[in-house]
Amino acid sequence: MTAKISAVVVPKWGLEMTEGTISTWLKNPGDPVTRGEPLLEVESDKIVNSVDAPSAGVLRRILLEAGNAGAVGTLIGIIADTDSSERDIDAFIASFRAPPGGEVVGGTSATPATVPATPALSSPSSPTSSAAAQDSAATAAVGMAPVRISPPVRRLADSLGVSLEGLRGTGPNGRILQEDVERVAAARASTAGLAAIVATPQVAEPEETEQPRLSPWSATRRAIARRMLDSAQTIPHFYLVMEVDARPLQILRAQSSQSGAAPSINDLIVHATAHVLPKHPAVNANYADSGLLSFAHAHIAIAVATNEGVVAPVLRFADRLPLAELIRKLAELRQRVTERRLGKGDLEGASFTISNLGMFGIREFTSIITAPQCASLAVGAIRSIGDTTTLSLTLSCDHRAVDGSTGAGFLRDLKDALESV
């Protein structure tokens, strides 16, 4: 009977995806799995999706632990039937080669005797995946348990001169954590210090130093950093600020609270913006090298803060929604962000973005435009000055598509809409 071995790899979702971070393994080594059963969760570009088992069998190896990132196509796990020996699996790992694009065609492989003999590690451009593959190769070669450690912690150990040989971590499955490396370094320093005290006369204590704690970037944070850098470097921004009388918004909110749940100020601003945007096609648009892609309806991305950064799910056809329905859909989007249930489609196709920091007391600020959109709106806090109550709206504009007068016209109409609600 021919043993069957299946590769579990970092999947590719969308053309722009180059790597993924393991969020959670839903199975442990030794657990039986069925084809199509959720096996793990992978995070990429602000979303977390489930990866299904490519075949039935037993999860025999996990090669990339939760919290680590790997390039698309990186070998991260092994599913095999009970007839596959550990030697079979070691040979499969050593000879594994992901096809171009990172997708494993067919999902299974015969015994190592029929597997191509040319060994291939994961993409050299990914330090994390290379380290995981090197650990796996070392395990296959000498029959030892792999050193379970993330690349950032490995680099910390190197910088502190801590040997990983024989070191068992306190993390899951003996994973070496940053605390383990720091503990060994501190113990070694303490021992060395004691020996020095015994051997030589005591001298003045050296100046204190502190080793900063490393918090590796999540896939979400890396995606935000990459996109914001691209936008800041490639989009010629300019900014327009307008003060709006906030009293009508406060009055409407107070009146609504008497008949039910009161809308937030942000709900009212989104509702008004949705009805103004279609009248300004140069603002309600995406930039392309071939021309301006104007939308007939408002598809507004709403910036929502999370522990790992800002996520902006899209409220589609917002101009068609009555206020009550818009409030319900916004609450649903925020809940899905909190529960990490957004799909990639929820973050695409926006024609405009609204970001509000008024609840933090920020008077006014500027926002970076999310390409390929042509503009975004930053909403400040309501404040009272004498007899007036105002809030600041700051419009960020892409000068390649939006002129000053065009942006000013949009802000003027939005001001009128907010002051006449």
Same domain, 279 and 185: no
pLDDT tens digit sequence for 239-285: 999 999 999 999 998 888 766 678 999 999 999 999 999 999 999 99
Q: Which residues lie across from 300 on neighbouring strands?
A: 315, 352
Q: What's the CATH number where 152 sits? A: 4.10.320.10
**Count of beta carbons in the 10 Å neighbourhood of residue 373:** 24
Same domain, 133 and 88: yes
Q: Residue 205 domain-assigned? A: no
**Count of beta carbons in the 10 Å neighbourhood of residue 60:** 21
Q: Residue 183 domain-assigned? A: yes
State which residues form the domain around 293. 219-419
| SS3 sequence of 6-31 | EEEECCCCCCCCCEEEEEEECCCCCC
Tell me how long the chain is.
Answer: 421
Same domain, 74 and 132: yes
Residue partners of 374: CB distance under 8 A and separation at least 6: 282, 283, 285, 286, 287, 292, 397, 398, 401, 402
Q: Which of 182-196, 264-278, 341-355, 405-419 has the lowest mean pLDDT?
A: 182-196
Same domain, 193 and 269: no
Q: Is the pLDDT of residue 132 over 70?
A: no
Same domain, 170 and 142: no
Helix axes 247-259, 404-419, angle to 10 degrees: 40
Q: Residue 206 domain-assigned? A: no
Q: What's the CATH number where 141 sits? A: 2.40.50.100
Last residue of a domain, one of 216, 243, 273: 216
**Residue pair 351/338 in contact by the 8 Å Cβ criterion:** no
Q: Would you place residue 164 in the very low, low, confident or very high pLDDT band (cuts 50, 70, 90)?
A: confident
Burial 185-207 (b: 16+ CB within 10 A, else e): beeeeeeeeeeeeeeeeeeeeee
pLDDT tens digit sequence for 27-75: 999 999 998 888 998 887 667 778 888 899 999 999 999 888 888 889 9
Which residue, among 203, 209, 202, 160, has the nearest Cα to 181 in the 3D structure?
A: 160
Q: Is the pLDDT of residue 179 over 80?
A: no
**Site of tokens 């442990």:** 28
Question: In the prediction, which pLDDT does 152 show?
Answer: 62
pLDDT tens digit sequence for 204-243: 666 788 888 888 877 778 778 888 888 999 999 999 999 9
pLDDT tens digit sequence for 288-299: 999 999 999 999
Q: What's the CATH number where 349 sits? A: 3.30.559.10
Please tell me the total count of domains within the chain. 3
Instruction: Tell me what the mean pLDDT of segment 362-379 comes to.
Output: 96
Same domain, 127 and 180: no
- Write the burial class of residue 161 (CB in 10 Å: 0-12 exposed, 13-18 middle, 19+ buried): exposed
Same domain, 261 and 398: yes
Question: In the prediction, which pLDDT does 273 show?
Answer: 98
Same domain, 97 and 241: no
Rounded distance, CA 54 to CA 420, Å?
Answer: 57
pLDDT tens digit sequence for 98-125: 766 554 433 333 333 333 333 333 333 3
Which residue, among 128, 109, 4, 7, has the nearest Cα to 68 in the 3D structure?
A: 128
